[in-house]
Amino acid sequence: MVPEPARLLATAPTDHGPRTTDKTRFTCLARDPDSAARLGRLATPHGVVETPAFMPVGTQATVKGITPEQLRATGSRMILANTFHLALRPGEEVVAALGGLHAFMGWDGPILTDSGGFQVFSLAARNRVSDQGVSFRSHIDGRLLDLTPERATSIQEALGADVALCLDHCPSLPASESVLCDAVERTIAWARRCKAAHTRRDQALFGIVQGGAHAGLRARCTEALVALDFDGYAIGGVSVGEGHAEIRQALAVTTHLLPEDRPRYLMGVGRPQDLLEAVATGVDLFDCVLPTRNGRNATCFTAKGCVKLRNAAHRRDPRPIEDGCDCLACGRFSRSYLRHLFLAKEMLGPILASIHNLTYLHRLTRRIRAAISEGWFVQLRREVLEALGP
């Protein structure tokens, strides 16, 4: 049976009023007829990103081991950098003096910077949270530092990212309802202050939804942030201890409450299975360290599940990581050679495996976009999940 075509949209709805930025705009182009999946276009000062899209993580102004040219060859169009790490080293003033983050790292495509909140709560040696902000000691040199909503916003403006995120309170999970409630109320208050402090009209500002796996708190946070009218919305707190069932629950509560005409970004999720499930609920953007971290640990994504390159079965294996893949690793090197690189602790092994994993995810998101446009995303999701296995 020929699937019903996706519902095409000439322009995005504008029921939430004008943007607060001049150059960053989101347009929903089509919707899948059998799910909430949608095809979109995010226009930024440094280029257009077709959505759904995956963003590689360049924590310290670099995606580990991969040059900007190699990164673009994988299909990457937008990347994420880390506000917390860059503020500590080399300092946002250094980056600004050298022309901003794009010039500093030699990447001419769009960049999103996170707020630094997650890193403060997970990496800082000691931190103290108040309604004013977070005081913490640097994990690098032990300096005592303060991060407020205003400070997080000014750092990201100095870095010059295309998309900045509000400072949020991201508690470790599992957490009690009272802890989650405090985090949600603080996240809302900090979001209000971030918006008041934000001045760059060429930079979009996203609010971050918190609430753990608590449906009522998720809804409370979502509705309060939507009322503040941000340029986009991130769904946070779904990669800090929850299982996959809790992630799906958080998405079910959150995405349908978010504006149709703003991009939706699921933070820290990069498993192919999770991307497919999130796209089905209407999510547009993703980031995660998983593809490059797995690559550095000799684990590669394929359409039939993960390949572990250190396994003895690949000692004489002449095949590429994945037949039909056009990445640098698969186009020139065998599994046997890649296994040798990892066992010999040669840096080329992690680089090639990371390139493959990013290429795989970008190829998957291209297939997702095509399936949404043609009205058969649900079928694609079923086929991919069945092939990947448990």
**CA atoms of 302 and 325, how far apart (whole Å):** 9
Q: Which of 15, 182, 287, 317 is catalytic?
A: 287
22 classed as catalytic: no
Beta bridge partners of 41: 27, 50
Which single residue is written with the structure tokens 């040669």?
A: 346
**CA atoms of 86 and 94, how far apart (whole Å):** 10
Q: How would you write 229-291 as a 3-class SS string?
A: CCCEEEECCCCCCCCHHHHHHHHHHHHHHCCCCCCEEECCCCCHHHHHHHHHCCCCEEEECHH
Question: Between β-strands 204-209 and 232-235, what pairing exists: parallel, antiparallel or unpaired?
Answer: parallel
Distances in Å between the Cα of 27 and the Cα atoms of 17, 40, 363 are 14, 6, 22
CA nearest to 34, candidates 382, 366, 377: 377
Q: Which of 32, 114, 168, 261 is catalytic?
A: 114
146 classed as catalytic: no
- What 3-state class would DSSP assign to 214? coil
Looking at the annotation, which residues are catalytic?
114, 287
